[in-house]
Structure 1
Amino acid sequence: MVNSYDEWSPLREVIVGSAQGYEAHELDLSFRLFFNVFDEFTDRARKPFKRHHVEELSEDIEGLVSVLEELSVTVHRPIALGEAAKFRTPYWSSDGTPALNVRDQAIVLGDEILETSPQVRARHFENDLLKPVFYQYFKAGAKWTVMPRPVMTDRSFDPVQAKRRQPTLVPNPEPSAFDVGVEMMFDAAQCLRFGRDVIVNVSNENHALAVTWLQRHLADRFRFHVLNQADNNHIDTLVLPLRPGTLLLRHPGVVDLLPEPLRRWDKIYAPEPSPEDFPDYDDDDLTLTSLYIDVNVLSVDENTVIANSQAPALIKVLEAHGFTVVPVRHRHRRLFSGGFHCFTLDTVRADSRPDDYF
C-alpha cells in the first residue's frame, strides 16, 4: 500500500527510472524555457546524445537498483522504451522521452499518487510508462489523481523569467486557434514533503496556477508553503531534508527563502563542487545543471544516505555529520539533469506519518 509523507522515513518501496530509448533533447520552446537555454544550440531543433553517454548512464542506474535491493528496498521499474516514441497532439508534435527522472511528474502524498502537469512537451506522455506500477498500487487501495493536462501551445507558457534573463533571445509566442491562455504546468520535484507540510517552489504563473489547484485539492490534508523563485524550477539540488531537524543546503543564502520553522533546523552546507569530479565534455555537449547537482541525494532512512561516489567532498561532509553514506556512481548527471532523488519516486516509507514538523 502506498504510504509516504516525508523524504527520510525508512524506504521500503521505490520506483527507479530508466534511460533506455533516450536519444536526444527536443530543443523546442518548452525545453528552452524550462532550462533557460537560449544562448546555445539556437540553430538546432534536436540535440542527440552520444551513445556511450546513454550506455554509461544506464550502467549507473542499474548500479543504483542493485544497491537499493541490497538494502532490502523493493524496486519497481517503468516500461522501457526500445526507441524514442514519436507522437503528435492536435497542436504540436515531439519525440517522447523515457521515464528517467520519475520524481519530476509524480509525487506521493500519504496514500495518494498525484501526477503533475508536464512543463516540457516531449514529456507529455512520459507517465504512461509508469502506469503498470500505478495500477498495481491503485488495485491495492491507493488513491490516484492526475492534475489537469495542459494544451501546451506557445501561449500556454509564462516566459517572464526567461525574458528577464535573456530579453533579446526569447522568441515571441506563435498564436494558435487552440490557445487557452497561460496554463498550470508544474513538476512534482518542486515540492519537498515534511509530514503534513509541503514546501513548494513557484517561479512563474504556470507554477502559481498549479499550486492553487494543489491547495484546493488537498487543503484538508496538507499545508503548502510557497517559496518564491527559490530556483527556476526544481528545489532538490537547493535544499533536501535528511531527517527531522536536519537540512542539506546548497549555501547559507537558501535559509532566508525557507519557511520560518525550517530556519531553526540544523544545517549541513554542501562543499563547493570541484570541476575535477565531473567528466570532460565536448563543446557540442549540452550541460543542463550546475555543479551542485550532487546535492540531489536519496535518504534511505534517518541515518543512511545514497550519494554520488563521484562527489567525495560531499560524502566526507555527510559522514562528518553522522550519516552513513552509501556511494553509488553517477557520471553524467549534468547531461541528463538528475541525481538520485530525481531518478526515484519513493512510494512506501515505513512509519511515515502526517506529523506536524512545523
Structure 2
Amino acid sequence: IDRANELLDKFVSQLEHRGITVDRPTSIDHSLPATTPDFHTDSQFGCMPPRDVLLTVGSEILEATMSYRCRWFEYLNYRPLLQRYFNEDPKFRHECAPKPRLTDADYHRDYLSDSIGVEKRLHWTAKKFFVTTEEEPLFDAADVLRFGRDLVVQHGFTTNLKGIEWLQRHFPNHRVHTVNFPGDPYPIHIDATFTPLRPGLILNNPQRRLPDGQREMFVKNDWEIVDAAQPAHNSPPPLCYSSTWLSMNVLVLDPKTVCVEKSEVYQAEQMDKLGMEVIEVELRDAYAFGGGLHCCTADVFREGDCEDYFPNLR
C-alpha cells in the first residue's frame, strides 16, 4: 500500500508540474463489509480507479451504477469533491444513475466457475453472453469512451444493454454506440482495449479487435485504427487482476502528449513514432489496486468545445 501511494503521489507531482490541477478522493474504510437489504460482501474495493465510477460529459459528472457488489458504496469516496464542485461552479451538474439492487438475478449463476475454459468463454463473449443479465441497468464509467457528441460504450461484463439504453436516454443530445470485442474472454472496461489518442487516431488491442461492422463508423469518418504495441511484460504484477494490456492504458493529456507507464518501453516507442511526446510514469507496483494510468485518473475539466468527430454518420 505504501509503495502504491508513493507512486500515485509522484504521478500527481508530474501532472501538477504540467500545470494540471489534481484533486484527490476522500477514502472511506474499504475493509468494512458492504451490506444492503439485497446482498452482503465481506469487504469493499478501494478508490484508486476513479475512472470506473465517474463519467464527465460536458458540465455534468455522472456516478455510474457499478456492477460489482463490493463497489456499491464506492461513490462515497468522491462525494466531498462533487459537493465542492457543486458549491464552486453554478453550471456544474452532479447526476447519479439509479443504484442497482444487485440481487442474484443480476448475474448468471456459475458463469465465473474455474471449471469453464477460455475457449468456451471466448465463444460466450462472441455471442455476447456475459456474466451480467438484463435484470436492471448496469454500467461502469470505464466502459464509456467520449468522442465529443458521440459516446462509445462497451457491452461486456460490467455494462449491460439496459445500462447502455439508460445512457442514451440520459444523454439525448449525444449519439451512443455499442461495441464489443470478441477476443476478450473477460471484457471488463474498454480502456485496455480501445484507446483514442487524438482526433482521427485510435489504438486497438490486437488480441481484441473491433469487429468489422462496428469499425465502419470510424472508417467512414477517416479514423485510423492501429494495433497497440505488445506489452513489455509476460504477466501482470502480483495481485493484479488486470491483463498485461494495461500497457495501453495510457493517459492522453492533449493531442500531442501522452503518459505511458515507465516500464512499457514498446508502447512508449510506438507513441513516439506516432508523433506524441511521451511522459514516463512509474505505476506498475500500484496496478493491483485498480489499474493503470487511465484507470487511476478521471478528468473533470478540459478546455474545448463539444465537437462532432463523426460528421458522416447518418
Which TM-score band (shorter chain)?
Answer: 0.7 to 0.9
User: Which residue in 1 is equivalent to 2:178?
Assistant: 226
SS at match of 1:186: coil
Asked if 1 retains the 8 angstrom alpha-carbon contact of 2:38 and 2:103, the reply is yes
| Residue 62 of structure 1 pairs with residue 9 of structure 2 | yes
Asked if 2 retains the 8 angstrom alpha-carbon contact of 1:161 and 1:204, the reply is no
SS at match of 1:346: coil
Q: Quote the offset at 1:300 in angstroms.
A: 0.7
Equivalents in 1 of 2:251, 2:2: separation in Å? Answer: 22
Asked which structure has the greater RCO (Cα within 8 Å, sep 6+), the reply is 1
TM-score, normalising length: structure 1: 0.73
- Choose the corresponding residue for 1:106, options 49, 54, 60: 54
**1:287/1:354 CA distance change after superposition, 3 Å:** same
Q: Quote the offset at 1:278 in angstroms.
A: 5.8
- Choose the corresponding residue for 2:223, options 265, 269, 274: 265
Equivalents in 1 of 2:283, 2:102: separation in Å? Answer: 32
**1:160/1:204 CA distance change after superposition, 3 Å:** farther
User: Which residue in 2 is equivalent to 1:187?
Assistant: 140
Aligned length: 288
Give the letter aligned to residue 271 of structure 1: A
User: Which ranges in structure 2 are unaligned for 5 or more consecutive residues?
Assistant: 122-132
Q: Quote the offset at 1:229 in angstroms.
A: 4.6
- Choose the corresponding residue for 1:326, options 276, 279, 300: 279
More divergent stretch after superposition (150-159 vs 189-198): 150-159
TM-score, normalising length: structure 2: 0.83
| Residue 136 of structure 1 pairs with residue 88 of structure 2 | no
Structure 1 residues 129-160: Cα deviation after superposition (integer angstroms, max 9, x where no partner): 10111112223121121111111122222459
Equivalences for residues 264-303 of structure 1 within 5 A: 264-275=222-233, 279=237, 281=238, 286-303=239-256
Percent sequence identity is 30
Q: Quote the offset at 1:277 in angstroms.
A: 8.5
Asked if 2 retains the 8 angstrom alpha-carbon contact of 1:182 and 1:206, the reply is no
Q: Quote the offset at 1:120 in angstroms.
A: 1.0
- Structure holding more strand per residue: 1
Structure 1 residues 206-235: Cα deviation after superposition (integer angstroms, max 9, x where no partner): 61111111111212x110010135551211
Give the letter aligned to residue 209 of structure 2: V
Equivalences for residues 41-52 of structure 1 within 5 A: none
**1:322/1:309 CA distance change after superposition, 3 Å:** same
RMSD value, Cα: 2.8
SS at match of 2:152: strand
Give the letter aligned to residue 18 of structure 2: L
More divergent stretch after superposition (110-119 vs 251-260): 251-260
Q: Quote the offset at 1:87 in angstroms.
A: 3.6
Give the letter aligned to residue 180 of structure 2: N
**1:339/1:206 CA distance change after superposition, 3 Å:** closer
More divergent stretch after superposition (143-152 vs 82-91): 82-91
